[in-house]
Structure 1
Amino acid sequence: MLARGERTGYDIAAAMRRPVSYFWTAGHSQIHPELQKLLAGGLVVYETRHGPGPQDKKVYRLTPEGSGALREWVTTPPRERPERDELVLKTYASWLADPPLLKRLFADQLALHEARLAEYEREEGLFGEPPRPGDPKFGNYATLRCGLGYERHRAEWCRWMVAQLSDSL
């Protein structure tokens, strides 16, 4: 977030809502401690400015060291993380469930994924041509493309599950 411009902790939290929250979440309780770690590491600095209330606000920006660390981090392979997908876990145990209730679960999930897909498709339409690499909006577009693929895949899987469960009733 700070690579795109200086921000307060509140501004970072607001910017995390969309589109970042589609693939990464962080609330105020996480953002402020992280800013303090970055500050202690010399990766960010802040300037105090008059705020809307009685207290001044801290406006953070990356230091040159922070920009360098971020450039290095972006191309470092991500840490391996265990997959945790509750719907897939429930599917694994689905033979225990009442088929009409299971079908309803997947129909509801299908509706959620189709709604998210429609939202992503509307956002994709706002781009027109894809931004070129090097443009900050390229990252927005690239992550949106990933989200589109995920939602299409998930909706198709839910459709398949509903069809399978319909055939077994």
Structure 2
Amino acid sequence: MTSTLGFAILAVLARGERTGYDIAAAMRRPIAYFWTAGHSQIHAELQKLLAAELVGYEARQGPGPQGKKVYHVTPEGSLALRAWVTEPPRERPERDELVLKTYASWLADPDLIRQMFTDQLAVHEARLAEYEREGELIGEPPGFGDPRFGNYAALRCGLGYERHRAEWCRWMISQLSARLNPSWELAKPSES
């Protein structure tokens, strides 16, 4: 049984052959919008995919004295990927540390919680700005069937997530600010 990481690697290789290093780079963007993996995880998974004959490789001359392996998806790998893409996603447990901390936040100093949300807001706003810049570079969505369509769709999902998360952080900051300084709610400018 192939892992989700294995299918992520197959999806990368379905777009063209790559070295292990190139696969890791592709896992940073755009796949990192929704799935992350380290180089050691990718290497271990490639070995499993090789054993299952879902990928193959060609040994080629590297830039230095070492050779390099250039991986490609096999016909069996392509069939497995095509079948997997249309299966419903597996249920996964939700694990969101910030939400868990919020659940227990009543135990902490409200100023510290507000600062944590202020810091988180900055993180989400920065990521949102980065995704918006990438969206401007992509422009209009490519047609379905073009591999770039998946990049665009993943980016849209990331944009929606970051907008939602930033709005939630703003709401938390507002709630905490009003509790700490009740006159803040009356003095803040109205939002349109």
Q: What interval of TM-score do these two structures reach, taking the shorter chain for normalisation? A: over 0.9
Relative to the length of structure 1, the TM-score reads 0.97
- Quote the residue 2:149 is aligned against: 138
Cα separation, 2, equivalents of 1:103 and 1:33: 41
Cα separation, 2, equivalents of 1:67 and 1:146: 25
- Quote the residue 1:62 is aligned against: 73
- Quote the residue 1:153 is aligned against: 164
Which amino acid is the alignment partner of residue 119 of structure 1? Answer: E
- Quote the residue 1:22 is aligned against: 33
Which amino acid is the alignment partner of residue 139 of structure 1? Answer: G
Deviation sequence 1:65-101 (CA, Å, 0-9, x none): 1111111111111111110000000000111111111
- Quote the residue 2:104 is aligned against: 93
Cα separation, 2, equivalents of 1:42 and 1:99: 55
Runs (4 or more) in structure 1 with deviation over 2 Å come to: none
Relative to the length of structure 2, the TM-score reads 0.86
Query: How many pairs were matched up?
Result: 169
**Offset of 1:22 from its aligned partner?**
2.2
Give percent identity, aligned residues only: 80
Name stretches of at least 5 consecutive residues in structure 2 with no aligned partner: 1-11, 181-192
Q: Is 2:61 the partner of 1:32?
A: no
Deviation sequence 1:34-86 (CA, Å, 0-9, x none): 11111111111111100112121111101111111111111111111110000
Name stretches of at least 5 consecutive residues in structure 1 with no aligned partner: none
